[in-house]
Amino acid sequence: MRALRALLLGFVLVAGLAGCAAGVLVGGTAVGIGLAHDRRTAGTVIEDQAIELKAYGRLSREQSLRGNHINVTSYNTAVLLSGEVATPELRRRAEDIVRNVDKVKRVHNELIIAAPSSLASRSSDAWITTKVKTSLLQIDGLPDFDPTRVKVVTERGIVYLLGLLQPREAEAVISTVRRVGGVQKIVTLFEYID
């Protein structure tokens, strides 16, 4: 019983730290809030969280990458690397490290060669992400569309969109995001479903 509680507590902590699906205990069972609408399986959501944690751990242990700004986002076991690194060699090194994390099926390396972005730039990106997520709540004409199925990451005004979407949903999302102020460019990393 004690081992089960420790396992459930670990699940809740991982879910909460990764920010993807908040975990709560209901009747002794870990339940992910938001999993009901996610098209990924519960196992894949947990795997994505584990991939992010493992990747961050490995990147942080790499001495040559310290002082760079690297974000790791996993969605359906495809990983987006975004941020800034000092050299092309460090860009390749970060990708190699993440590519070797268990269960990673693909790495989208969007790291740029530049000095780490400023706090003002990151704050602006966070605001753009908020505006994009809010805009997705306004999509009409798609009765089954759930905006929580779209993962939004913003770096330097570039909005990266991940998710498991039908083509018509993806078109509506892209059209909506294009109208959001501050968006410099949209990069779609959707996986399409029927």
Does residue 124 share a domain with residue 47? no
The strand pair at 185-192 and 158-165 is best described as: parallel
**What is residue 36's predicted lDDT score, i.e. its pLDDT?**
65
Taking the C-alpha atoms of residue 20 and residue 181, their distance in angstroms, rounded to an integer, is: 25
Does residue 135 share a domain with residue 42? no
Taking the C-alpha atoms of residue 56 and residue 98, their distance in angstroms, rounded to an integer, is: 9
Does residue 186 share a domain with residue 127? yes
List Cβ neighbours of 168 (8 Å cut-off, separation of 6 or more).
Answer: 142
Is the per-residue pLDDT at 117 higher than 60?
Answer: yes
- Containing structural domain, residue 100: 2-113
User: Alpha helix locations (H) across the chain?
Assistant: 2-18, 42-61, 88-99, 119-136, 167-178
We report the CATH number of the domain holding residue 169 as: 3.30.300.130
**What is residue 84's predicted lDDT score, i.e. its pLDDT?**
98
**What is residue 91's predicted lDDT score, i.e. its pLDDT?**
98
Task: Provide the whole-model pTM.
Answer: 0.81
Is the per-residue pLDDT at 12 higher than 50?
Answer: no
**What is residue 37's predicted lDDT score, i.e. its pLDDT?**
80
Taking the C-alpha atoms of residue 192 and residue 194, their distance in angstroms, rounded to an integer, is: 7
Does residue 126 share a domain with residue 93? no
Q: What is the mean pLDDT of the chain?
A: 87
Query: Please, what is the Cα angle at 17 between 162 and 176, to 5 degrees?
Result: 25
List Cβ neighbours of 60 (8 Å cut-off, separation of 6 or more).
Answer: 66
CA contacts within 13 A on the Cβ side of 125: 20
How many structural domains comprise the chain? 2
**What tokens appear for 37 in the block?**
């609408």
